[in-house]
């Protein structure tokens, strides 16, 4: 049978094939491995690469309460003065006697003038938040595993899973948790997880005018936190409880608890 | 009712102390997380464990004086057991998710594992023991009764209708085995409730290895006192003769149990005082300012010392039987007040001071609502109603009650 001319000229066929086949191979590979490849395309963020932590320099805190305010706005924390993801405490140490502590509305509206009769030795502010403990008692006690430690070292609450038993609130030695009044689940600081996973800073760190709060990663030498840990004498709160907190305080004496 | 009395007492204290906070609380600590319902829950579980342990004394250790209340104790344990988890459920923020504790439990959580301890105790120990104990009667009732009742008992017998001497012997054997498993299970049940509190290292008022043991013994105390009350009240309403031997035995056991319980609590107290840890000053302040009525007055004086002394006098002194009965009754009532206060002091007390150890808060009790006073009273009355229904379905009184009582008295006097 005579054929006047081929349907596709040989040269053209080879050229098209050379262009398309590698693409097809890749597409086939993508289909066969499924999720992995697709995820890799979107995932510049790998939680295993991170271990978030925070440093707080007490000497720098001026007690302006911007951090507590920003936190409430950023995370839609109920505005009542019984619910805080972060708050600022003021310590007043008299020359003689016990330290006195206050935190009116978490420090958001500032602090009233000190009208102590006794002579004051010193006074300072301490920002508080969830310590994202490595050995977190709240994670241990949660009966359904709704409170968990993420792979990037942040203690989180799955609000679609929490039963609201409040055992975690009892187990937290730092008073960092509360029961959300409308969601009826445990709530707490997430280090602004929605921000940090996009490479942004937590709201409280971003608004702090004095760089009291230093956010970063443990084990990353280039992280500002590592510089903080290297040059400051740091403490963690209630170290005796072996919760292994990941919020490091510079300048916190024994009276801070 | 003892619990309403004590609740009123507490209400009075709260009003007296309504000056609110003192010192510094972490802001998230202003409101108490666990209220009245969580006080009721260990109280009810304690009654269950106590009543069961009492029943097993008769069964395993052959304390024959307790024969008249053996079945009544089992039914009471079951009635209280059915209600015990309800306050927990009502207190959850999301009760609809409660089954997750069983379906996807977090194995390291003391609370999650408690669900399994509870399920084990209810299904394997209590229900099985009651079934084996009653099976012979159930089969007989299914033959005697007519209409729907007949079918009801037939269903209860689960098809095991043989009443041959061998099968009855088997029932007894199984009953004994289950009781032997049941005793450590009852210990586990309430010891575990103690562990839920005692394992919280963040809270110096709770964190103590003694707490599970203290809980256990207070459970035994409350269980014995409960059975004393239930036995006296039910006998009175049925116009039957009460077994003085049984009452004396209960009074004696209650006396010993209170002594052990009080010694343990004293040990805990002295230990804390002597160790004098960081938390000691805030805890002492709490006891003298916030818990004075519920701890010193209600728990120690009214709930422990007064019943202990009066029980000692009534049991070992020379009193006429009528007076003795009155003393037993009042002592058992006071013990209930005392144990309810113990639960209150643990649960509420543990949240009245700040974990910053610098301040105290107050508990504002609700009257209405899921976690309010009325709901609590409902939870405390419900087991009694269930017990009433249970005694109708499975009458715990022997048909020849007089003879049983006569035998009991004889055996006891012979000893």
The ipTM, to two decimals, is 0.90
Q: What value does the mean pLDDT of chain A take?
A: 89
What pLDDT does residue B9 have? 54
CATH topology of domain B2-414: Formate dehydrogenase/DMSO reductase fold (1.20.1630)
Mutate to test the interface with A, among B117, B202, B281 (most CBs of A within 10 A): B202
Token readout for A108 is 């958001």
The pLDDT, as a whole number, for residue A27 is 55
The stretch A21-44 carries a mean pLDDT of: 52
**Pick from B86, B110, B115, B89: which is nearest to B196 by CA?**
B110
Contact B28 A177 (CB under 8 A): yes
pLDDT bracket for residue B257 (50, 70, 90): very high
Residue A13: the pLDDT is: 67
Residue A5 confidence (pLDDT): 53
CA B147/CA A122 separation, integer angstroms: 85
- For chain B, the structural domain boundaries read 2-414
> CB contact, 8 Å: B21 with chain A?
no
Q: Taking CB atoms and an 8 Å limit, are B106 and A145 in contact across chains?
A: yes
| Cα(B221)–Cα(B50) distance, integer angstroms | 7
Percent of chain A's residues with pLDDT above 90: 76
pLDDT in tens, A118-164: 799 999 999 999 999 999 999 999 999 999 999 999 999 999 999 99
Quick check: A106 and B27 CB within 8 A? yes
pLDDT at position B197: 95
pLDDT the model gives residue B275: 94
Q: For the ranges A8-22, B7-21, B58-72, B227-241, which has the lowest average pLDDT?
A: B7-21
Q: Which of B104, B111, B351 sits opposite A167 (nearest CB)?
A: B111
A161 to chain B nearest CA, in Å?
A: 7
pLDDT of residue B411: 73
Q: Is B356 in contact with A257 (CB distance < 8 Å)?
A: yes
Residue A143 to chain B, least CA–CA distance (Å): 4
- Checking if the pLDDT of B5 tops 90, the result is no
**Cβ atoms of B74 and B129 closer than 8 Å:** yes
Selection from B211, B223, B202, B191 nearest residue B47 by Cα: B223
Question: How many angstroms separate the CA atoms of A225 and A255, rounded?
Answer: 24
Are B30 and A101 inside 8 Å of each other by CB?
Answer: no
- CA-CA-CA-CA torsion sign (B194, B197, B198, B199): positive
Mean pLDDT lowest among A7-16, A195-204, B290-299? A7-16
> What pTM did the predictor assign?
0.88
Closest Cβ opposite residue A175 in set B29, B91, B115: B29
Give DSSP secondary structure letters for A135-183.
T-HHHHH-SSS-EEE-TTS-EEE-TTT-----HHHHH-TT---EE-TTT
B20, B22, B24, B27: best mutation site toward chain A, by most A Cβ within 10 Å?
B27
Q: State residue A16's pLDDT score.
A: 72
Distance, in angstroms, between B172 CA and closest chain A CA? 38
Tokens of B339: 């144990």
pLDDT recorded at residue B19: 52
What percentage of chain B has pLDDT greater than the value 70? 94
Q: Are the C-beta atoms of B406 and B90 separated by less than 8 Å?
A: no
Check CB contact under 8 Å for A164 and B93: yes
Answer yes or no: do B100 and A161 touch at CB < 8 A: yes
Could you tell me which residues of chain A have a Cβ less than 8 Å from any Cβ in chain B? 81-84, 87, 89, 99-103, 105-106, 128, 137, 140-145, 161-167, 169-179, 183-185, 241, 257
A214 against A24, higher pLDDT: A214
The closest of B136, B163, B130 to B59, measured between CA atoms, is: B130
Q: pLDDT band for position B414 (50/70/90)?
A: low
Residue-level pLDDT at A7 = 62
Q: Would the pLDDT of B201 be above 50?
A: yes
pLDDT for B121 equals 87
For B92, the closest of A99, A102, A164 (CB atoms) is A164
pLDDT of residue A35: 42
Give the other-Cβ count within 10 Å of B129's Cβ: 25
- Considering only CB atoms, A140 lies closest to which of B104, B105, B109, namely B109
Residue A166 and residue B28: Cβ atoms within 8 Å? Answer: no
Residue of A nearest to B109 (CA): A141
| pLDDT average, residue stretch B386-401 | 90
């Amino acid at each position: 049978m005579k054929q006047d001319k081929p349907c596709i000229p040989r040269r053209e066929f080879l050229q098209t094939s050379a262009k398309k086949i590698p693409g097809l191979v890749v597409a086939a590979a993508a289909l066969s491995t499924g999720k992995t490849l697709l995820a890799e395309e979107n995932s510049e963020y790998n939680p295993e690469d991170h271990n978030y932590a925070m440093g707080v320099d007490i000497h720098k805190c001026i007690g302006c309460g911007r951090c507590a305010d920003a936190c409430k706005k950023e995370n839609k924390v109920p505005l009542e003065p019984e619910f805080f993801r972060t708050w600022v405490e003021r310590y007043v140490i008299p020359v003689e006697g016990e330290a006195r502590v206050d935190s009116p509305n978490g420090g958001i509206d500032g602090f009233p003038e000190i009208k102590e009769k006794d002579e004051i030795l010193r006074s300072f502010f301490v920002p508080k938040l969830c310590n994202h403990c490595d050995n977190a008692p709240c994670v241990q006690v949660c009966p359904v595993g709704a409170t968990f430690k993420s792979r990037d070292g942040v203690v989180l609450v799955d609000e679609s899973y929490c039963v609201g038993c409040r055992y975690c609130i009892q187990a937290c030695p730092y008073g960092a948790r509360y029961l959300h009044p409308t969601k009826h689940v445990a709530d707490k600081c997430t280090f602004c997880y929605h921000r940090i996973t996009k490479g942004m800073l937590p709201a409280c760190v971003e608004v702090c005018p004095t760089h009291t709060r230093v956010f970063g990663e443990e084990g990353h030498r280039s992280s500002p936190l590592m510089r903080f840990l290297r040059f400051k004498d740091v403490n963690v709160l209630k170290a005796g409880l072996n919760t292994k907190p990941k919020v490091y305080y510079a300048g916190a004496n024994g009276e801070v608890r | 009712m003892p619990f309403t009395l004590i609740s009123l007492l507490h209400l009075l204290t709260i009003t007296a102390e309504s000056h609110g906070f003192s010192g510094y609380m972490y802001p998230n600590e202003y409101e108490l997380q666990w209220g009245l319902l969580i006080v009721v829950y260990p109280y009810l579980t304690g009654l269950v464990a106590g009543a069961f342990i009492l029943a097993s004394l008769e069964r395993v250790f052959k304390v024959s004086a307790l024969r008249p209340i053996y079945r009544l104790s089992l039914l009471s344990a079951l009635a209280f057991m059915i209600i015990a988890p309800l306050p927990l459920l009502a207190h959850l923020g999301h009760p609809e998710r409660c089954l997750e504790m069983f379906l996807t439990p977090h194995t390291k959580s003391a609370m999650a594992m408690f669900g399994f301890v509870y399920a084990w105790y209810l299904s394997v120990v209590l229900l099985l023991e009651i079934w084996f104990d009653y099976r012979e009667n159930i089969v007989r009732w299914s033959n005697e009764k007519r209409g729907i009742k007949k079918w009801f008992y037939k269903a209860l017998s689960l098809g095991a209708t043989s009443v041959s001497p061998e099968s009855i012997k088997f029932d007894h054997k199984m009953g004994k085995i289950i009781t032997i498993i049941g005793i450590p299970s009852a210990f586990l049940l309430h010891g575990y409730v103690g562990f839920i509190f005692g394992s919280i290292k963040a809270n110096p008022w709770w964190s103590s290895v003694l707490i599970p043991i203290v809980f256990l013994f207070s459970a035994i105390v409350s269980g014995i006192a409960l059975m004393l009350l239930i036995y006296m009240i039910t006998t009175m309403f049925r116009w039957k003769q009460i077994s003085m031997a049984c009452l004396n035995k209960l009074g004696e056991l209650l006396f010993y149990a209170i002594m052990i319980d009080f010694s343990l609590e004293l040990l805990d107290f002295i230990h804390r005082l002597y160790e004098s840890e960081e938390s000691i000053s805030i805890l002492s302040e709490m006891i003298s300012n916030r818990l004075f009525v519920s701890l010193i007055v209600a728990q120690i004086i009214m709930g422990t010392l007064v019943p202990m002394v009066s029980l000692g006098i009534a049991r070992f002194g020379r009193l006429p039987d009528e007076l003795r009965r009155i003393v037993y009754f009042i002592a058992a009532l006071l013990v209930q007040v005392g144990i309810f206060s113990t639960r209150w002091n643990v649960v509420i007390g543990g949240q009245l001071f700040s974990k910053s150890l610098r301040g105290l808060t107050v508990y504002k009790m609700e009257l209405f609502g899921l976690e309010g006073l009325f709901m609590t009273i409902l939870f405390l009355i419900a087991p009694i109603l269930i017990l009433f229904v249970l005694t109708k379905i499975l009458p715990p009184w022997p048909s020849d009650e007089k003879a049983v009582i006569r035998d009991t008295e004889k055996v006891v006097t012979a000893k």
